[in-house]
Each structure stands twice: as structure tokens, then as C-alpha cells.
Chain A
Amino acid sequence: MYEQITANKRKSFALFAGFLLLYGLIAYALYLYVGPIGGAITMGIAVVMSLTALFGGDDLAVRVAGGQRVERKEDAPELWRMVENLAITAGLPMPRLYISPDPSANAFAAGRTPEQAIVCVNQGLLNVLDDAELEGVIAHELTHVRNYDVRLMTYATVLAGSIALIAQLLSHALWFSGGRRSRDSGPGGIIGLVAVVLVIVLAPIAATIIQLAISRKREYVADAGAVDLTRYPQGLASALMTISGDQTPPQRDERTIAHMMIAPQLTPGGRSSALFSTHPPTEDRIAKLMEMAGGVPHQKRTPVAQQFIEGQAGGQRGELDRAQSSPEQVPAPAGWPTGLGAPADAPRHLGSPSQRAGGSVPPPGEH
């Protein structure tokens, strides 16, 4: 786990340094071929983007997703409580919580440090997942926070986005210069040539950066971490199954933050995003989780959104039902390690989520 954190911090730094270097080169190239103004504009964009990545990347991601801040516990007590308890289990401060009204089933985390982390949940997710599944998803996101995946992903989002922006600007310039070139072979031709070269070079670089951020391993590690927090692999497995089966397309274009999402995201048109060709196949993640669960499937219950409407009593009933219907009642020993090697022997220790902490005080009201 700590190796993962160190590696992520190192990668974040390398990403940032590489980005600055790349921008320096672009600025220099534009300075040579277009003049000081081209260089200055590029440097300006570089500075703005760096500052955004450092200080505003999380807010930017939330804005793309259209998330609304849950300011107080009273606004969404069940969700708040769930996030709060999982954060305590993970040893993290309570992240800022957002709910996006988007009907697609997805969630993401962002932020530079665990102290500034945000967790954003789509309404669509609350509509289709029950509490054990939602717990799995949030635990997955909190593991990204704990492992500093979010820093790397937030940087990658802003920086790769800016490179894509430049590439796009240049390709527009190319169109115009292309038109001019038929008349004369002046500076327009040179700009066009530079632009062609840069677009050819930049596009794959942007793609590489995003691939760097979404290594397959990262998702598997976060899944394992989520199991470590909830001790209920079935929950996350069932959540992933539900999410990948849910075909509600997002209302917003969330492609720029797609790699931060819990599961592959459909574009507003309903097509699956090309970015996700590098994402680990959801079936494989589910298979791994079910292996940890010892093949015992999750028993789906009322989606969270409906429970919230029914009120707090509904939530408590859910908890009670689950405790009773769970086939295994063997609680995990309290000394169960939080290290990532742990889930390997998870199936033997799994109890129902309400018991997973090792048979603590039975919640009052259940007797």
C-alpha cells in the first residue's frame, strides 16, 4: 500500500515535470516559427493549466460532473454517515461530498491530498444501488484517495485536457493555413507544417498520459482496498454488475473525467468511450471480487434512493434484514490487517457487513 502511495506521488511529480517540459518545447517551437506572441500564449496556457491542476483540479472535475455540495450531514444523513464511517475505517478525514443530479450510474473521487479530497456520487448511482453496493463503491473511491491515485488522476485530467486543447487549436489553425497555402507558400505554410507535426506528436502524448493514470493495476488495487474496508466483496461486485448493466446515458459530457469514474462511462450518445479501451474489463474485476467472496452472491435489496425516501427506519430495516439473511455469520477477527495482502484470505472471515467489524456491540434496536 505504501509503495503504491510513493509510486503515485513520484508519478504525479514526473507527470507535472514532463508537462512543463513539453510546454516549454511547444512554446519554443512556436516562438521560432510564429514569433514571440505564439510562445507567450503557450506559456500563458501552461501557467494557467498548472495552477488549475495544482489548486483547482478537483473543483473542475466536480463542475464537469455538475456535482452539488452536500454541506451538512442533515442534507443527506444516510449517505453522509456511510462516507463518514468508511473514511474513519480508512483513517481518512471526511472528504467533501457531492451529489450530481446526473441519471447515469457513476461516481468518482478527486483532489490533491486526502485532506482536500472530494467524493462525487451521481443520483443515477443512488437510484440503482442498494446500501451494501453503494458502500463498496464509496470504499473503492476512498481507496483511490488514500493511495493518492486521485492526485495523479486529477493532474492527468487537467494536463492531458490542456494538451488536447492545444492540439485542437493547432488543427484549426491547420485548416485555415491549408486554405491559404494554395495561394501562396508564405508563413501560413510553415505554421501548417509545424501544426501537423505537433498534432501528430501531441495526440499520442495526451493519450499516454491518460493511460499512465489509468493503469489496470490501480483499479484492482482500489477494488482490493474497498474489500478491505467493507469486508464484503459481493457488494462491490454486485455494484459493478449493476453499473455495467445500467444503460442510462449521462446527460453531461463527462468524457474528460471518464477515467476517474468507477466504471466505464457511456458518452451522451450512448456509445462506450474509446478512452476506456485501457480500463480493466469490468467482468474481470467482478470475477476477482467474486473469487474473494468465495462465490457467495450478494442479495440485492431496495436501491438506496428509495430507502432514503422511506426514511431512516427503512435504512435500519435494511441493515437488520441483511444481518439475518447473510449465509455466513463468521465475523472477521478484529486484528485483521488493513494491508493489501489481506483480501487473499478474506472469504473465510467474511460476515455480513453489519458484522464485519468483528462482532462488536450489537446495534440497539435489533433485539
Chain B
Amino acid sequence: MALIIVLVIVVLIVLALVVMYNGLVSLKNRVDEAYSDIDTQLKRRHDLIPNLVNTVKGYATHEREVLENVTAARNGAVSADGPQAQAQAEGVLGQALGRLFAVAEAYPDLKANQNFLALQNELTDTEDKIQASRRFYNGQVRLLNTKVESIPTNVLAGIANITQREFFELEDKTERETPQVSF
């Protein structure tokens, strides 16, 4: 009788461990998937920028420096690797773009250009989507990190070699403020 009880308890414990382990793995996969979703949106943003730069070039010929900044920031963002570096590079790019659109205000012809307006809308939409996918990613990372840290899943995470992930934060302090524009 006692043997049966012990057996039942052992089986239950094993089952619980399996469930926990599977939960951990699927959460890890969800984090990976969420990150690739951010990546898709970032790529879309990066693809829009050369077009934008070319359009602006035709009108705002004297703004070479601003345009070069955008191109440089874009290239930096494309080559950035890992959530933290990527987020930082995107922050820089956002600032550069902010300056570009501020400068564009001074060119009525440019502001009336259909292509420019379409690109601007596309970029706004993409940025909203980056925000959205970033928030989903961060939520999943939060869940995963909590599990990796807390008992008893931390032991399982150690066995499965699942580690804490970085948040994707555009929390750069300078980026929070409205970009300073000097005319």
C-alpha cells in the first residue's frame, strides 16, 4: 500500500516537472518568435528610409547633413545585433528621422509631394507596429525571466540551458525628449 502511494507521488512529481519544462520551452520559443516579429517591422522601416532620403533630396538640397545623418543612422540600425544594441540604434535612427521631418516643414513643395506623404504615413504605421510588437516581446520576456529566476523552474531552466533575455527598450533618455532642432 505504502509502495503504491510513493509510486503515485513520484509519478505526479514527474508529470509536474514535465509540464513545467514544456511550459518553459514554449515560452522561450514564443520569445524568439516575438523577437523575429519586431525584426520584420524593423526591416520594413529600414527599407523605407532610402526611398525617403531620395525623395527629400530632390527638394531639400541644402539639408545634406541631416540626410547623411539619417543614412548613417539607418546603416547603424541595419548592422546592429542583439536587443539592446538594436534598440539603441533604432533610438538614434528615430532622432535622425525626427530632425528630417522637422526640416521638411520648411519646404512646402516637399510637404505637398504625394510620395513623401505616403512614405511618412508608412513610417508612422511601421513605428506603431514596432511599438506593438516590442510590447508583446517585452511582456513575453518578462514572463520568461520570472520563470527562469523563480523556484522551481530555475532548476529546469538551468538544465535546459534557458537563460534570461534582454528587454527591447527604447528607453534611451535623450530619445524621450523632443529632438532639439536648430534652424
Contacts and interface: CB of A to CB of B under 8 A. Distances in A.
A357 B97 contact: no
Contacts of A65: none
Given A364-B101, A367-B101, A367-B181, A357 B132 contact: yes
B76 interface: no
Interface stretch (A87-95, A100-108, A190-198): A87-95
A56 B51 CA distance: 45
Nearest to A338: B139
A360 B127 contact: yes
A334 B179 contact: no
A359 interface: yes
Nearest to A229: B135
Interface in B28-63: 30, 34, 37
B132 A367 contact: no
Contact of A337 (B98, B134, B142, B170): B142
Nearest to A86: B132
A357 B171 contact: no
Interface range, B side: 35 or more
A84 B130 CA distance: 12
Interface string B125-138: 10111111111101
Contacts of A331: 176
A311 to B, nearest CB: 11
Contacts of A361: 90-91, 93-94, 97-98, 127, 130, 170, 175
Interface string B141-183: 1110000000000000000000000011111000110110100
Nearest to B90: A361
Describe A's contact surface by its main secondary structure: loop
Interface in A313-367: 316, 331, 333-339, 357-365, 367
A185 interface: no
Classify the interface of chain B: helix, strand, loop or mixed.
helix
B132 A358 contact: no
Contacts of A335: 138, 141-142, 167, 169
Contacts of A334: 134-135, 138, 167-171
Contacts of B127: 360-361, 363-364
A357 B133 CA distance: 10
A335 B168 CA distance: 8
What size tier do the contact residues of chain A reach?
20 to 34
B123 A357 contact: no
B140 interface: yes
A81 interface: yes
B128 A359 contact: no
Contact of B142 (A85, A90, A338, A359): A338
B102 interface: yes
A309 to B, nearest CB: 18
Given A359-B176, A362-B178, A367-B181, A91 B169 contact: no
B153 to A, nearest CB: 14
B69 interface: no
B129 A84 contact: yes
A337 B139 contact: yes
CB-CB nearest 10 A-B residue pairs: A338-B139, A361-B94, A357-B131, A88-B132, A364-B101, A334-B169, A89-B132, A91-B136, A360-B170, A85-B132
Interface of B: 30, 34, 37, 90-91, 93-94, 97-98, 100-102, 120-121, 123-125, 127-136, 138-143, 167-171, 175-176, 178-179, 181
